[in-house]
Amino acid sequence: MPETLDTLAQSLSDAVVNMDEERTRELAIAVVDLGLNPLAAIERGLVDGMNRAGKLFETEEYFIPELLLCSDAMYAGLEVLRPHLPNASEVKKHKIVIGVVEGDTHDIGKNLVKILLDAAGYEVVDLGRDIEPKRFVETAIREGARVIALSTLMTTTMDAMADVVRLLAEGNLRDRFKVIVGGGPISQAFADRIGADGYAASAPAAVKLVQRLITEPA
């Protein structure tokens, strides 16, 4: 059966969901060899697969390791397809600055959010962990980001999130950025209290939150 873009995209999506890195890479090479549209293969194949994995994570069928294995497969496919994207097709993506707040070094949750945002088509600037408030603000300004995403696992460091919001307000920058927060000790009530724009309880929920906030009028 001749491989078409449709069947290959479906196979790519399945390979990502099935955590099959090798198969994903082979399918991506087939897309290139057949001269098919790499952007479509990414969107309808790799990203679709990652979205399905995110849904399985939300329904508790997949857990963190599975989600990461799916993302390994997705990135393997991207590595093959990206060099073949025509330069002009690089759409301007919304930027998101993400990091773990000052004082905290637990970053597995942040990494999950980053992967899913990446898969959802955002450009993610990952500052890493133990990041002081002013670096979030400076980076967001420099990168022209739309969203600042803050993560922490520790009750003792959650107030640093409020510091970021306060710094933005002091610089009259509060309206330029959407601030979202998440992590073990964080709740919607906390987000409301510090004046953040949103809270998400899981990585897939964070993607939905960003999608909603970005389409909202500023």
Partner 1 sequence: MSKVTFALQGITVRVDAGASLLDAAIQAGILVETPCDGTGTCGKCRAKASSATGLIAGVYANDLLSDAERAAGWVLACQTKVIGDVTVEVETSVDDGLKIISDGHELAVKIRPWIRKVFQTELLTTQVYGGAKLLATEPSDTTQFGYGLSVDIGTTTLVTSLIDLANGQELASASSLNPQARQAQDVLSRIKLGSQPDGLRQLRNDLMTEINRQIGEATAAAGVIPRHIYEAVFSGNTTMLHLATGTNPASLGKYPYTPSLSGGCHLPAEIVGLAISQHGLVYLPPIMSAYVGADITSGILATALAHEGGVVLFVDIGTNGEMVLAVNGTLVATSTAAGPAFEGMNIACGMRANRGAIERVSLTERRIDVQTIGEGEPIGLCGSGLLDAVGELAATRGVDANGRFQFKDESWPWSKQWDVLDGKPIFRIAGPVYLSQKDIRQVQLAKAAVRAGIELLLKSNDLQASQVDRVLIAGSFGFHLRTESLIHLGLLPPEFENRVHFVGNTSKSGGRAFLLDYHTRDEMMSVTQGVRVLELANDPAFEKTFLRSISF
Nearer of residues 190 and 211 to partner 1, judged by Cβ: 190
Nearer to partner 1, 45 or 104 (CB): 104
By the rule CB under 8 A, 4 interacts with partner 1: no
104 with 184: CB under 8 angstroms? no
Minimum distance, C-beta of residue 184 to partner 1, in the bound complex (Å): 8
As measured in angstroms, the least distance from the Cβ of 63 to partner 1 is 6
Q: Which residues pair with 98 in a beta bridge?
A: 126, 149
Binding-site size for partner 1 (CB under 8 A) equals: 29
- Determine the Cα angle at 206 with ends 135 and 124, to 5°: 45
Binding mask 93-122 for partner 1 (x = CB under 8 A): ---------xxxxxxx--x-----------
Under rule CB under 8 A, residue 185 binds partner 1: yes
Cβ distance to partner 1 smaller for residue 88 or 189: 189
Tell me whether residue 31 or residue 194 sits nearer to partner 1 (CB atom).
194
Tell me which amino acid residue 32 is. V
Asked if 73 touches partner 1 (CB under 8 A), the answer is no
Select from 2, 35, 65, 144 the one that contacts partner 1 (CB under 8 A).
65
- Show the site string, 12-51: x = touches partner 1 by CB under 8 A, - = not: ----------------------------------------
Residues that bind partner 1 (CB under 8 A): 60-66, 68, 102-108, 111, 130, 153-157, 184-190
